[in-house]
Amino acid sequence: MYRTEQEKLSQVKVVVKVKPKQDELGINWSQIKNKIFRREGREICSEHVNHQTHPITEVRRHHRLDSDEANHLDAYSESRSVIGDGECFYRSFIFSYLEQVIDRQDTNEENRLLHVVERMSMRHGDLQWNSEFCRSSKAFRNLIKKIMRWKRHGRESSSSRRKEKLLEFFSEYDTTLDIIIFLRLVVAIQMCSHREVYEPLIPGLRGNYNLEDWCFWRVAPACRSTDHVMMVALARALEVPLRVERVRGGYDPDIYTGPGVPRPRVTLLYSANHYEIIYPRAPSAESSSHQASQREHAADQGSSQQTTQRKHPADQSSSHQASQREDHADQS
């Protein structure tokens, strides 16, 4: 049902208004930046996000995990597969988040996201890029407003019906193409708006190959793989707590822990350059009360302390450093 690699989509580049420059190899970076995202030959897949979830035991069986290797998955009950077309992280991230948003009766998250879009639009203007942000941000804004309408209108008002509508929306490239472009541009904007935060985390930058160049090569093009720093930037920009579990476990699963405000939390499973959605088990009534007490205590201590309390400090470098630097930059 799923393909490990979709037919390669045409590369997409963000256009930035800069003076032409060449490096020692004679590469004109300005010409490269002036290539616009074009995606042709797209194949429509009926379920880019699987309409059915599966017990977490199927994940263990598929990856042949023994009991010791799967201990970290005990906290999850189900998984949802996502098509492996090179956009699985962004698709899994935004679907998982919006799936939780539509379950809420209020529209607080939708209004917050609309403010985030406005903030990113201002940053995009400051960067003076000539990109697809205007069109793609409009598509994202329209999706958020669509969800708000689903909550208001009669037959779409039930949570199950709204989820069906969301799954339908995520079934075709024609409806999700601009959403993915928007998320990739958000990562690029976030990183280039906080150069002092992200430049030290990117190896190989030099005079003729700066952070913008790196974003145009590694972040913006279609089907480019997503690394840890990009995940930090997206979660931080949208202020969505993000945890990524590895199939056989690993260090520092918390990519971004959020500002201490209760908010839908995205939990993904990573294996062999592929991401899919996993669902935490519903806590018992007793543990829910205990967790609520813990959250209140954590909120009183502030988000910075939350971020530094990690079991494996040796593996926290990019997410923790980015959070610290961005906090300092925002305060200055």
CA distance 329 to 272: 35
The residue length of the chain stands at: 332
Does any domain span residue 90?
Answer: yes
Measured in degrees and rounded to the nearest 5, phi and psi for residue 69 equal -75, -20
Does any domain span residue 293?
Answer: no
Range(s) of the domain holding residue 123: 46-283
Does any domain span residue 309?
Answer: no
CA distance 22 to 128: 21
Upper half-sphere CA count for residue 262 (Cβ side, 13 Å) = 10
40 with 74: CB under 8 angstroms?
no
**Alpha-carbon dihedral 106, 107, 113, 116, rounded to 10 degrees:** -100
Does any domain span residue 38?
Answer: no
What single letter denotes the amino acid at residue 52? Q
Amino acid 156: pLDDT: 61
CA distance 278 to 319: 21
Does any domain span residue 194?
Answer: yes
Amino acid 278: pLDDT: 97
- 61 by Cβ neighbours in 10 Å (0-12 / 13-18 / 19+) ranks as exposed
Amino acid 113: pLDDT: 97
CA distance 23 to 223: 26
Q: What is the DSSP string of 274-314?
A: EEEEEEEPPPPHHHHHHHHHHHHHHHHH-HHHHHH--S-GG
Q: Per DSSP, which regions of the chain are E strands?
A: 15-16, 54-55, 76-80, 129-130, 242-246, 254-256, 266-271, 274-280
CA distance 11 to 208: 22
**First-to-final CA distance of the chain:** 51
Does any domain span residue 26?
Answer: no
Domain count for the chain: 1
Amino acid 285: pLDDT: 53
CA distance 321 to 310: 13
Q: Any idea what the CATH number is for the domain that residue 252 is in?
A: 1.20.1300.20
Does any domain span residue 87?
Answer: yes
Amino acid 284: pLDDT: 65
Q: What is the pLDDT along the chain (332 residues), one digit of tens a residue?
A: 434 434 433 444 444 433 444 444 454 544 444 433 333 433 334 589 999 999 999 999 999 988 788 889 999 999 999 999 999 999 999 999 999 999 998 999 999 999 999 999 999 999 999 999 999 999 999 999 999 999 988 666 688 899 999 999 999 999 999 999 999 999 999 999 999 999 999 999 988 999 999 999 999 999 999 999 999 999 999 999 999 999 988 878 999 998 877 889 999 999 989 999 999 998 765 444 445 555 544 544 444 344 333 333 333 445 555 655 565 555 44
